[in-house]
Structure 1
Amino acid sequence: MTAKPSRKPRVPNFSSGPCAKRPGYDVSQLDLRALGRSHRSALGKELLGRACRDTARILGLPAGYRIGIVPASDTGAVEMALWSLLGPRPVDMLAWESFGAGWIKDVVEQLKLPDVTRHEAGYGELPDLSRVNFDHDVVFTWNGTTSGVRVPDGDWIPDERAGLVICDATSAVFAMELPWHKLDVVTWSWQKVLGGEAAHGMLILGPRAVERLESHTPPWPLPKIFRMTSGGKLMEGIFEGDVINTPSMLCVADYLDALDWCEREGGVPGLIARSQASLKVIEDFVATHPWISFLARTPETRSNTSVCLSLDLPPERVKALARLLEGEGVAYDIGSYKEAPPGIRIWCGATVETSDVAALMAWVEWGHEQVR
């Protein structure tokens, strides 16, 4: 019988969104000068512009790539791209978990595009990437947050392609290496890898996406919050801090704090290393405990952020384990996504300390014995 662990994670927040705040986070240390001020004031525009500029610099975006803050989190950013850009070419849609499946549903049932090729796989697997047609527009998620399955790299995307590549990378940006020159549109939200607050999305447009926006007028009406052109030209202000709708300046201050922390940790390489170290703790644990396994079928496709695990327990016992660990104050919000196979999901993004993941796994072992 495994003894009840004596050491608990210092921060038991392992949710896959909103995610744990950065180590040492203190809300009283935020730059709150803009609270109660207009986002269109000189100060508001300066801070919003800095959020765009600093993000582009830290990520190392190529020349000509624009980045803007948009409404409605990653969902809003993806919908802006789909509704504004799709239509001129056939579309290849990829899905291997719930969010990718949701984008297929939107394109097929809402936009009603006539020529859509679906590349789908079940939870734990990837579709055959070699079958994707890049003469078409291509839409995919880099990391399946609800399945813990990611694309292994960008080698399957050609440098020369006729269609646009639209990538939902909400749990990958700042945690995985992304080949920016192969991606024409990238979306994510503050609440994931940097542990920011919800409701604000980020949208990156490459030059080819801008060209499409300025040459293509969608045949359907576009809501105001989706519109990125005026008079056939890109509304450049969106990508300079002149946002479409009113943002939370408190959330902006929080995001700028997260960016500063990212730089102190060595930028994107430093954050990737933190995330990979936490994944390694779980990999070592799984290797020595036969009753637990990764939902991802192959090591190359394992997510290092949303780590999804299967247990040799019936669904009701898996839920009992999650409740037990929450009751002990050692792990909050680790149950698998509602549409995913029963299991647990441990967020290992950079804001989570590897020592907390190590402490958690000892409790997972103890909890497994209690509920089986």
Structure 2
Amino acid sequence: MSPSAKPAIKPASPHFSCGPTKKRPGWSASNLDVSVLGRSHRAKHPKAKIQSVLTKMRSILGLPSDYHIAIVPGSNTGAVEMALWSLLGARGVDVLAWEAFGKAWVADVIKQLKIPNARAIEVDYGDLPDLGMVNFDNDVVFTWNGTTSGVRVPHGDWILADRSGLTIADATSACFAMHLPWDKLDVTTFSFQKVLGGEGAHGVIILSPRAVERLESYSPPWPMPKLFRMTKKGVFDKALFDGATINTPSMLVIDDVHDALTWAESLGGLEGLIARVDANFAVIDDWIKTTSHFAFLAQNPATVSPTSVTLSISDDWFANADAATQKAITTDIQTLLAEEDVALDIGAYRDAPSGLRIWAGATVETSDLAALMPWLDWAYETVRARHIDAA
């Protein structure tokens, strides 16, 4: 099979990385308020900017008034670790894992914290665990949207309203892109550099009243690093959730995400962001129905992520190749697209099956994704022909 003709139209931006993700449309460093730089983050103006970020996030996400939100160190990973180390151990734990970060939380809970009565419910990339197996007398740890597998939970109906344990959701590629049932989530974490297209290093943690009650009624048996502490002398640290960060944040990062949130507000908030995500995913979904080369890695259509869209190569020639050849093929596709300045950083996650991963969140333009799809077919056909000729 000869390659099809090279497409004539390129995406205006080749930035389709799943993290950090593309900046918002129209972003410029000149839009940032540099007056907050070189000052204490506890001074009036810089702290007000931090508080404004928290207020905007609360409003756009539609958080209940009694939920608490804070900026914490270490990106989403730091926020999840803070939750695990601060809250777990009071009862058994179910940890769901179907991709790299879920497996990391399994390692934390079972190998590091050694929680008694902890259970890992794991499946391979592309699948979702049987949610009916979850015991809500236990605390439950899961990723809402598996960034490295392109598999998400389809909704929150599986979470019991009258649960005894806490639910801890790593929602870093879901927040601001999907509707989340806050009454079903006791701890929710995310980072700026996913859906908002912000810079890295800082995470966000959201706590329900049930999570606050656990913090004040339970003290873990292990030493607690300062960066994870959400209480002072056994009392919930309200100042942390009012902009008094644990350590010094980058005010440049803070103003950058403030800019992204202001842009989100201009779209109409969460509904505007989700509309852009849905339009982006529709482009890819329509293309998948016509291409003979690619498929979603997610096995169940109801679980396909609309943000971190993960693709496998679906033809028999690729399937019959050995793992090393498959890896070489997907690497060559990425290299070819990067050389053409069409798509950058779209390789599958390092622990995932060979394939491609494309960010389709709200900061990506739908027209860019529409332009990208023909290039994916062309790149695969070109690389396939090269490998066949070389064999």
TM-score range, shorter chain: over 0.9
Aligned partner of 1:360 among 372, 375, 378: 372
Is residue 22 of structure 1 aligned with residue 24 of structure 2?
yes
Paired with 2:66 and 2:285, the residues of 1 have a C-alpha distance of 39
Equivalent residue number for residue 83 of structure 2: 81
Q: CA deviation at 1:207?
A: 0.2
Equivalent residue number for residue 120 of structure 2: 118
Equivalent residue number for residue 153 of structure 1: 155
Aligned partner of 1:326 among 322, 328, 338: 338
Counterpart mapping for 1:232-271 below 5 A = 232-271=234-273
1:30-84 Cα distance to aligned partner (Å, 9 max, x none): 1222011110101111111111111111111012100000000000000000000
Paired with 1:365 and 1:127, the residues of 2 have a C-alpha distance of 31
Paired with 2:23 and 2:56, the residues of 1 have a C-alpha distance of 19
Equivalent residue number for residue 321 of structure 2: none
Equivalent residue number for residue 360 of structure 2: 348
Q: Answer whether contact 2:100 2:148 (CA < 8 A) is retained.
A: yes
Equivalent residue number for residue 68 of structure 2: 66
Is residue 278 of structure 1 aligned with residue 290 of structure 2?
no
What's the secondary structure of 2:35's corresponding residue?
coil
Is residue 106 of structure 1 aligned with residue 108 of structure 2?
yes
Q: Tell me which amino acid in the other structure corresponds to 1:316.
A: A
Q: CA deviation at 1:317?
A: 1.0
- Taking structure 1 as the reference length, the TM-score comes to 0.99
What's the secondary structure of 2:34's corresponding residue?
coil
What's the secondary structure of 1:296's corresponding residue?
coil
Pairs aligned (count) = 372
Deviates more, 1:333-342 or 1:43-52: 43-52
Equivalent residue number for residue 300 of structure 1: 302
Paired with 1:227 and 1:8, the residues of 2 have a C-alpha distance of 48
1:253-294 Cα distance to aligned partner (Å, 9 max, x none): 000000000011121111111111111111111111122100
1:283-331 Cα distance to aligned partner (Å, 9 max, x none): 1111111221000011110000000001133321111011100111000
Paired with 1:25 and 1:244, the residues of 2 have a C-alpha distance of 29
Q: Tell me which amino acid in the other structure corresponds to 2:278.
A: Q
Paired with 2:63 and 2:264, the residues of 1 have a C-alpha distance of 16
- Taking structure 2 as the reference length, the TM-score comes to 0.94
1:102-156 Cα distance to aligned partner (Å, 9 max, x none): 0000111110112111111111010000110101100000000000000000000
What's the secondary structure of 1:261's corresponding residue?
helix
Paired with 2:194 and 2:268, the residues of 1 have a C-alpha distance of 18
Q: Answer whether contact 2:89 2:116 (CA < 8 A) is retained.
A: no
Which runs of structure 1 show a deviation greater than 2 angstroms over 4 or more consecutive aligned residues?
312-315
Q: Answer whether contact 2:20 2:198 (CA < 8 A) is retained.
A: yes
What stretches of structure 2 of length at least 5 have no aligned partner? 319-325, 385-391
Paired with 1:105 and 1:84, the residues of 2 have a C-alpha distance of 16
Q: Answer whether contact 2:154 2:303 (CA < 8 A) is retained.
A: yes
Counterpart mapping for 1:128-143 below 5 A = 128-143=130-145
Paired with 1:340 and 1:355, the residues of 2 have a C-alpha distance of 28
What's the secondary structure of 1:108's corresponding residue?
helix
Q: CA deviation at 1:8?
A: 0.8
Aligned partner of 1:38 among 32, 37, 40: 40
Deviates more, 1:333-342 or 1:107-116: 107-116
Paired with 1:227 and 1:292, the residues of 2 have a C-alpha distance of 46
Q: Answer whether contact 2:293 2:377 (CA < 8 A) is retained.
A: no
What's the secondary structure of 2:298's corresponding residue?
coil
What stretches of structure 1 of length at least 5 have no aligned partner? none
Q: Tell me which amino acid in the other structure corresponds to 1:15.
A: S
Q: Answer whether contact 2:176 2:274 (CA < 8 A) is retained.
A: yes
Paired with 2:177 and 2:81, the residues of 1 have a C-alpha distance of 23
Equivalent residue number for residue 329 of structure 2: 317
Q: Tell me which amino acid in the other structure corresponds to 1:107.
A: V
How high is the sequence identity, in percent, across the aligned residues?
A: 59
Deviates more, 1:307-316 or 1:21-30: 307-316
Q: CA deviation at 1:182?
A: 0.5
Paired with 1:54 and 1:277, the residues of 2 have a C-alpha distance of 24
Paired with 1:358 and 1:199, the residues of 2 have a C-alpha distance of 32
